[in-house]
Amino acid sequence: MVKTYDIKSKQLSPHFNVSEFRCKCGKEHSTLIADELIDKLEQLYTALGCSKIIVSSGYRCAAHDKSVGGSGTGQHTLGKAADICCYGQDGKPIVSYLVCCAAEDVGLSGIARINDSYTHVDVRSGHWFGDETKGNSYCIPCSSFYEYYDVQKTAKPLKIGIDISLYQNKIDWGKLTSDFVIIKAGQRDYTDPLYEQHYKAATDAGIPVGAYWYGEAKTVAEARKEADCFIERLRGKKFAYPVYYDVEGDMLDLDSKALSAVVDAFLSRVEKAGYWVGLYMSGSPMHDKISADVLRRYALWVADTRGQQPTYITSYGMWQYSHTGKVAGVTGDVDLDYCYTDYPTQIKAKGLNGYGKADPVEIQPDPVPAPTPDDGIPVRLEIGNQTYVGRLDKV
């Protein structure tokens, strides 16, 4: 529905205000804005992981539309259009051709690339995809911007969640709209001060949770110790999302081989205790330092806040796309995460992460090499319906 606003400033949604849509002709008149346009702009904001969207032109009266080269009857004069520049988490404009693709995904019906950084979007009743760099009314010759710009379509997130630690000490769980929450369990050998509280509150609010352990290990032996500390904190609780090893900071000083071994030692140990495990890292060290077999073996949660979905790492289940997110129910900045995998269904089906009927098996101490018997041979005998196995030792 198109609404008429006679006031200069009114917040329309979390990121948009009437003032941004006012006609720039300089005369005092009301502003028309379609609700649907604001809804779609908010969806675009989320889809692109924006830090801000600047509206360079919103509503235009007929005279102003003509003065900027329009027909005087176009979508801007109906309050259904906006020319926008979308900024990523790095504070730089996201290139217009990617904005066009995302605008198509959220269902904006009129979209055109204006130049490298600016994009026209509208909610017309028909459909128009254009490329104004080739002329004001140039219509792209195919049905999708992905095809036109040869952009590979990235997976759509299933869920949007947050990850929290002691720094999120004021959460209004009744207001929180997050699909899931990943909770810091601890670090080195101590428990995060809010771990128990966060776990209980999220569970009481019916929000599925995962957990992470902030790593500091420099050796395989230290990684195993950390794993045991983590397992202790996980016992008796249920996690519908994976439990992650958070690798950052000083750990990145290790060379690729040593770091991969440390990560593998931690994750394989927690996995043996009955958990669906994963690795959390910033994208570029994950790509540069972790061996391919470790990347293939575990669930991946990649952090990259530059505004575009990472493509240099494949098959990750989660992408942390912002450190400065704002969500209802959380005071201050919070990390935001897209999840592309239905972990809860798979984890429950496999009976992992506390969802099993029996308690997970006790973790075994580090394996001691078995003594090699000298000159013995294994034997297997079948007599009647019975099978007998054993060893014959040389005397």
List of residues contacting Zn ion (CB under 5 A): 23, 25, 61, 64, 83, 120
Task: Indicate the residue among 124 and 306 with the shorter CB distance to Zn ion.
Answer: 124
Min dist CB 41 to Zn ion, Å, is 13
Task: Indicate the residue among 25 and 327 with the shorter CB distance to Zn ion.
Answer: 25
Min dist CB 146 to Zn ion, Å, is 22
Min dist CB 42 to Zn ion, Å, is 19
Q: What is the DSSP string of 150-183?
A: TPPPPPPPSEEEEEE-TT---B-TTT---S-EEE
Task: Indicate the residue among 120 and 224 with the shorter CB distance to Zn ion.
Answer: 120
Task: Indicate the residue among 56 and 291 with the shorter CB distance to Zn ion.
Answer: 56
Min dist CB 71 to Zn ion, Å, is 12
Task: Indicate the residue among 61 and 99 with the shorter CB distance to Zn ion.
Answer: 61
Task: Indicate the residue among 74 and 278 with the shorter CB distance to Zn ion.
Answer: 74
Q: Which residues pair with 277 in a beta bridge?
A: 243
Distance CA 318, CA 302 (A): 6
Spatial contact of 172 and 145, defined as CB atoms under 8 Å apart: no
Say how many C-beta atoms besides its own lie within 10 A of residue 352's C-beta: 23
Task: Indicate the residue among 83 and 246 with the shorter CB distance to Zn ion.
Answer: 83
Min dist CB 109 to Zn ion, Å, is 13
**How many CA within 13 A on the CB side of residue 310?**
27
3-state secondary structure of 387: strand
Task: Indicate the residue among 31 and 260 with the shorter CB distance to Zn ion.
Answer: 31
Min dist CB 22 to Zn ion, Å, is 8
3-state secondary structure of 17: strand
Task: Indicate the residue among 27 and 357 with the shorter CB distance to Zn ion.
Answer: 27
Type of residue numbered 131: D
**How far, in Å, are 103, 381, 382, 388 from residue 385 at the CA level?**
69, 11, 7, 10
Q: Angle 42-1-111 (CA atoms, 0-180°, nearest 5)?
A: 50
Task: Indicate the residue among 64 and 233 with the shorter CB distance to Zn ion.
Answer: 64
Q: Which residues pair with 257 in a beta bridge?
A: none
Spatial contact of 173 and 145, defined as CB atoms under 8 Å apart: no
Whose structure tokens read 């075994």? 364
Min dist CB 120 to Zn ion, Å, is 3
Spatial contact of 287 and 310, defined as CB atoms under 8 Å apart: no
Min dist CB 103 to Zn ion, Å, is 12
Min dist CB 23 to Zn ion, Å, is 3
Name which of 359, 394, 361, 357 is nearest 375 in CA terms: 394
276-299 as b/e: b if 16+ CB within 10 A:
bbbbbbebebbeebbeeebbebbb
Q: Angle 135-101-96 (CA atoms, 0-180°, nearest 5)?
A: 50
Min dist CB 265 to Zn ion, Å, is 56
